């Protein structure tokens, strides 16, 4: 089963997964400026695109970084989890609050209830986060979602469908509350 899992990845992807799991374990919790620098180096090695000047706070868990591209001036606050398995594109000037989850893959839901779910695999759906977006604390961004430029996702929101540009969205599921001018 492990060999079938590893066959789907290139050598670079396997190396990135190794770095994320083993080196990431040590640098994920490093405090202070040294920790920020070490996390920045790790992300530059593993991400598809990772900008200079990005800020990754302690206790941020990132996996499948080789499918994540980030724009300039990204800030990811503590406790967030970003799963790039299905692909994530993050625009410029994005703020990601504490304890945010961004996922780009999900388990397959089969109509056949007799098929064990663990054998069905994953569905990959890329996530796109526009420029100048702020995602509030404890929010969840589900697979396949697009968040438009200049939008704000309120704290605690669960985003299951696309959010247009320049709006404040909140709730479970997140909906547009008002336009931002």
Name the nearest CA neighbour of 89 among 51, 45, 40.
51
pTM listed for this prediction? 0.90
What pLDDT is stored for residue 120 in this prediction?
81
Active site residue 107: yes
Q: Which of 64, 81, 89, 107 is catalytic?
A: 107
Q: Residue 109 maps to which CATH number? A: 2.160.10.10
Domain total in the chain? 1
What pLDDT is stored for residue 1 in this prediction?
56
DSSP string, 110-140: -S-TTS-GGGS-EEE--EEE-TT-EE-TT-E
What pLDDT is stored for residue 53 in this prediction?
82
List beta partners, residue 178. Answer: 168
What pLDDT is stored for residue 113 in this prediction?
78
Distance, in Å, from the CA atom of 147 to the CA atom of 15, rounded to the nearest integer, reads 30
pLDDT along the chain (181 residues), means of 10: 72 90 90 90 91 90 95 95 96 98 90 79 94 98 98 98 98 96 83
Domain carrying residue 89: 2-179
Do residues 128 and 84 lie in contact, with contact meaning Cβ atoms separated by under 8 Å?
no
What pLDDT is stored for residue 5 in this prediction?
65
């Amino acid at each position: 089963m492990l060999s079938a899992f590893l066959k789907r990845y290139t050598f670079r992807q396997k190396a990135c997964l190794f770095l994320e799991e083993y080196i990431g374990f040590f640098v994920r919790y490093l405090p202070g400026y040294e920790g920020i620098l070490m996390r920045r180096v790790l992300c530059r090695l593993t991400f598809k695109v990772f900008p200079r000047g990005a800020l990754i706070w302690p206790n941020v868990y990132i996996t499948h970084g080789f499918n994540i591209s980030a724009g300039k001036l990204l800030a990811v606050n503590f406790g967030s989890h970003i799963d790039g398995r299905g692909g994530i594109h993050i625009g410029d000037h994005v703020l990601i609050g504490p304890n945010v989850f961004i996922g780009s893959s999900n388990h397959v839901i089969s109509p056949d209830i007799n098929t064990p779910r663990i054998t069905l695999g994953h569905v990959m759906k890329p996530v796109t986060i526009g420029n100048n977006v702020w995602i509030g604390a404890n929010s969840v961004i589900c697979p396949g979602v697009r968040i438009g430029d200049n939008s704000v996702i309120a704290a605690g929101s669960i985003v299951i469908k696309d959010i247009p540009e320049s709006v404040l969205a909140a709730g479970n599921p997140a909906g547009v509350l008002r336009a931002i001018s």
